[in-house]
Amino acid sequence: MTDKIWLSSPHMSDEGYEMEYIKEAFDTNWIAPLGTNVNEFERELSSYVGANHGAALVSGTAAIHMALRAAGVGKDDIVFCQNLTFSATVNPIIYQNAIPVFIDSDHNTWNMSVEALEEAFEKYPDVKAVLVVHLYGLPADMDRITKLCKRHDVVLIEDAAESLGTKYKGKHTGAFGDYGVFSFNGNKIITTSGGGMLVSNNEERIAKVRFWSTQARDKARHYQHSEIGFNYRMSNVLAGIGRGQLRVLNQRIAKKKYIFDYYKKELAELEGVEFMPINKWADSNCWLTCMILTGKNRPINLIEALEAENIESRPIWKPMHMQPVFAQYDCIGGEVGEWIFENGICLPSDTKMTDEHLDRVCKIVKGLWK
């Protein structure tokens, strides 16, 4: 059996940066709960993306949950949520006993359709928040979406879990809305093994998130709680991994782009093959390279062919309105997301891949077109 090629696996720095910060945590005995690494990781990542404040949390999902809570979303409030995404985007809406309304994507960005969003505002004028996603590192049309949210005086939350390092017209994703969410899960462009970050320019709200996420313990000598809290804070050890990973983030972005360009050069001419849209105003981190297949070969044919050679690939996310658990909720549109899901595939995009690995994948793909 040949070596496994992963879709996107953790990639620690060759220089061992992560161990420097982990060792510091061990040497000072600041293992948990917080410490210098947490404080500095919040500062460094916020600064990188152009936000003023950050709260390091246990996951991107927790960060979305805290963003919704900070935005005042509660029982029976309506939240417009991108339809083509992973369920972790939607679950926190349910945690808050709120009501998701799913918004279809467009072909040009694969992200929230401005036209569908306009229709949603007409149908649900009392919406509390808009939750947009930058899917696979592709930025949404943030100028128009931001303008719409401001016009309707609605909180904008960016799920940038997959788009750390992506820019829209020169500005980082996650820095447009009232709140930006990042993930450091094992498959993301940088990882803390598990973890997330909520960023915002609102210092008071980030301070409140830190309070809630450390069990909402009041300032008192005894243990006193006036609000419901959560055990959501990132540990000082994991934050140390994150600090080390940040130092190689630009290298990881460059490699992800290289992988995308390699696949596009080798495979774009195949009949019925189309790559994910990279717009001229977008500087995508290309977290995963995705293709659309509209010819004789279907995504499942390619997934199975790669799987037989010990290579991991994945379908595109299944839209939320097609998920049994969310079937009761309204969806504005849905046809575009369905089409991308039915015809899309995520190719292996691991930053440890060599040209030999990439060539191996391309040969298997091309073999299906013979």
Q: Which residue from 45, 64, 103 is spatially nearest to 238, judged by alpha carbons?
A: 45
Apex 102 CA angle, 97 and 107, nearest 5? 155
Structure tokens at 358: 């990439």
Contact 134, 156 (CB under 8 A): no
Which amino acid, residue 184? Answer: F
**Helices and strands, number each (H, E), in the chain:** 12, 15
Please state whether the predicted TM-score (pTM) of the whole model is above 0.75. yes
- Please report the domains of the chain, with CATH numbers, ordered by start residue: 17-246 (3.40.640.10), 249-367 (3.90.1150.10)
Confidence at residue 39, expressed as pLDDT on a 0 to 100 scale: 98
Asked if 69 and 121 count as a contact pair (C-beta separation under 8 A), the reply is no
30, HSE (Cβ side, Cα atoms, 13 Å): 17
pLDDT tens, residue by residue, 34-90: 999 999 999 999 999 999 999 999 999 999 999 999 999 999 999 999 999 999 999
| pLDDT 10s digits, 256-283 | 999 999 999 999 999 999 999 999 999 9
Contact 49, 158 (CB under 8 A): no
| Residue 113 to residue 60: CA distance in whole angstroms | 23
**pLDDT at 1 exceeding the cut of 80:** no
Whether 157 has a pLDDT exceeding 60, the answer reads yes
Mean pLDDT (whole number) for 92-107: 98
